[in-house]
Amino acid sequence: MLDLSKYQSIGAALKDALEEFANEVCLIESDREREKERLTYRDFKQRAHPLAKALQDAGFAAGDRASIIMTNQSKWLISAYAVFHAGGVLVPLDYKLTPDEQWQLLKHSGAKTLITEYPIWRQLSVSEGRSAAANVSTVLVTEAPKNADLAGTQRWEEYQGSSEPAFVPRARKDVACIVYSSGTGGRPKGCMMTHENYLEQCVALTSIYPFSPGVRYLSILPTNHAIDFMVGFFGPFICGAAVVHLRTLRPEYVREAFSKYKITYVSLVPLVLKNLQKGLQARFDELPSGKRKVFNAIVAVNRALTKSRPRLGLSRRLLKRVHEPFGSELRAIIVGGAFAEPQTLQFFYDLGIPVANGYGLTEAGTAITVNDLQPFRADTVGKPLPGMEVRIVNPGADGIGEVAVRSKTIMSGYLNEPELTAEAIAEGWLMTGDLGRFDAAGHLQLFGRKKNMIVTEEGKNIYPEDIEAVFESLPVKESCVFAANYIWPQRSMVGEQLLLALHLEPGQTYTEDLRRDISTRNSKLLNYKRIHGVVLFEEDFPRTASLKIKRNALAERLRKLDRAAAFLPL
């Protein structure tokens, strides 16, 4: 691994990594059963440098912003490298957002260059939102068919400079990436992450989960996500490890990839982990009762022998049939993006597959705490990473309060939002909005959220105010969306739901027609943004002088209603 204390920027560290590990495999890309790419670090450099040069030839300079909207693939990382080499600021956007949302964030970020895939561009190019983002002057499109109409854009594959690009140095405090933690509604939250944030986070994470040449990371979480950017790009690269990309995420091909490529690490969101658990459990349930008893006994033996620490070799021998489909090289499944249920984590650990669960948020530079497996604990999110100061603000009698964190990995602020930044970071401490407490062993336990938001099992942060637009013209007096647990705190990190608070017109009743209208509008939202129920409120919503709804005050009044009676499922 490179000594990151010597480096000022992501670009400088990556540049040296390409030299240091020139002969190691850095990228494998597979499409179903076909392997499309296998690149060494030397090959990677040969692909990335012409792109960096072409960007520079087109006037792309230090501090200029370039956005990537792509599914996980080699060209994502090659493009990102080229942007950093040219001194640019990367704006990684979620390819699952709608085209209008993507244009909105492109506009907000001030990106002048967009790098995207043809299928995504096909939708972006016809989206109405396009006209708003005049700042995007260069569009590079990958994998466009030969006869595709690319009016105004350029083929990524042909966008190449002919000489070596100049390396553009950046300082540690310069912004490296603008990462959108949520929100395409009124106030997009673009976290300005500095080079220092990434360099420090990488040192902290690799001190617990080291990468090295020969290690293979399966990149499934979208690379725009802070976790995959760190453990599926920067982390492995500065250690000479390899990243495996799959062009389809069908379960059968993902399963096959584990054994085919002898995967060492993979990151999953809790939803996928739970599905994996269900699949394995179904297989175990099919065993004849005699075999089942033997299997359960072996699992119990493994659990006893790994109580204090993982013993991977032993577990792989004891539970060979379980480990073989995973390639028998898996060291840990990294789970993140949302809260994972303890019983799921325990299920995998008992099978000899450690799950590295932790806790973090984009604003904190990915991870704040992580389970170091010494010993494994399913009931906590682990201990603070090296370099992280974590404290509990205003704890109650039970020790539970808001989690605050201070470290060199905390973002420099939200882009163009000084007020939001001041609310989030007070005297260097990032207020997470999550409720937690430390136990005697120094592990952090989480107990729900203080803020009006939900995090889905797929790792999506949803802010209720971002989805209200679809309900705006409902034939009611007024409406407002909330996270149910914000109104009625559950002291739980799972089962989060959104609700629509409705104040009906005088004499109006909640009819089947109205319910259907809400349901139809709801179906226009992406499935993870949908509301689950309605709460009827019989008074005027409290409002500010400028007639904005006072959300906190309304939430307080709604809290007085009995949840079970008031929540009408949609």
Partner 1 sequence: MRTLEQTTQEVLDLASKHFNVPAGSLVPEDDFFKKLGIDSLQTLEMLSRLENHFGIELPDYEVQGVSDFRTLASRIQSRL
Do the bridges between strand 65-69 and strand 89-92 make them parallel or antiparallel, or are there none, so unpaired?
parallel
Q: How far is the CB of 119 from partner 1 (least distance, A)?
A: 4
User: Which strands, in side-by-side order, build the sheet including 175-182?
Assistant: 154-155, 138-142, 113-117, 65-69, 89-92, 175-182, 189-194, 413-414
Do the bridges between strand 401-406 and strand 429-438 make them parallel or antiparallel, or are there none, so unpaired?
antiparallel
Task: Annotate 41-88 with DSSP letters as a single string.
Answer: HHHHHHHHHHHHHHHHHTT--TT-EEEEE--SSHHHHHHHHHHHHTT-
Helix axes 270-285 and 289-305, enclosed angle (nearest 10): 130
Residues 6 or more apart in contact with residue 2 via CB below 8 angstroms: 13, 16, 17, 20, 238, 239
Nearer to partner 1, 432 or 461 (CB): 461
Distance of CA 451 to the CA centre of its chain: 19
Q: How far is the CB of 145 from partner 1 (least distance, A)?
A: 13
Nearer to partner 1, 114 or 192 (CB): 114
Backbone angles phi, psi at 43, to 5 degrees: -60, -40
Nearer to partner 1, 96 or 391 (CB): 96
Q: How far is the CB of 523 from partner 1 (least distance, A)?
A: 5
Q: How far is the CB of 337 from partner 1 (least distance, A)?
A: 14
Q: How far is the CB of 521 from partner 1 (least distance, A)?
A: 12
Q: How far apart are CA 498 and CA 527, in angstroms?
A: 12
Q: How far is the CB of 194 from partner 1 (least distance, A)?
A: 32
Distance of CA 308 to the CA centre of its chain: 30
Task: Select from 251, 263, 190, 258 the least CA-distant residue to 226.
Answer: 190
Nearer to partner 1, 220 or 227 (CB): 220
Nearer to partner 1, 144 or 319 (CB): 144
The 10 Å Cβ neighbour count of residue 147 is 5
Q: How far is the CB of 69 from partner 1 (least distance, A)?
A: 11
What three-state secondary structure class fits 146? coil
Nearer to partner 1, 508 or 523 (CB): 523
Nearer to partner 1, 120 or 430 (CB): 120
Residue 433 in tokens:
């909005």
The residues that touch partner 1, with contacts defined as CB under 8 A, are: 32, 71, 95-96, 98, 117, 119-120, 123, 247-252, 271-272, 275, 458, 523, 526-527, 530
Q: How far is the CB of 504 from partner 1 (least distance, A)?
A: 25
Q: How far is the CB of 98 from partner 1 (least distance, A)?
A: 6
Residues 6 or more apart in contact with residue 297 via CB below 8 angstroms: none
Report the DSSP beta bridge partners of residue 192.
Answer: 178, 413
Q: How far is the CB of 530 from partner 1 (least distance, A)?
A: 8
Give me the half-sphere count of Cα atoms (radius 13 Å) on the Cβ side of residue 222. Answer: 17
Nearer to partner 1, 95 or 438 (CB): 95
Nearer to partner 1, 193 or 470 (CB): 470
**8-state DSSP, 509:** -
Residues across the chain: 570
Nearer to partner 1, 170 or 274 (CB): 274
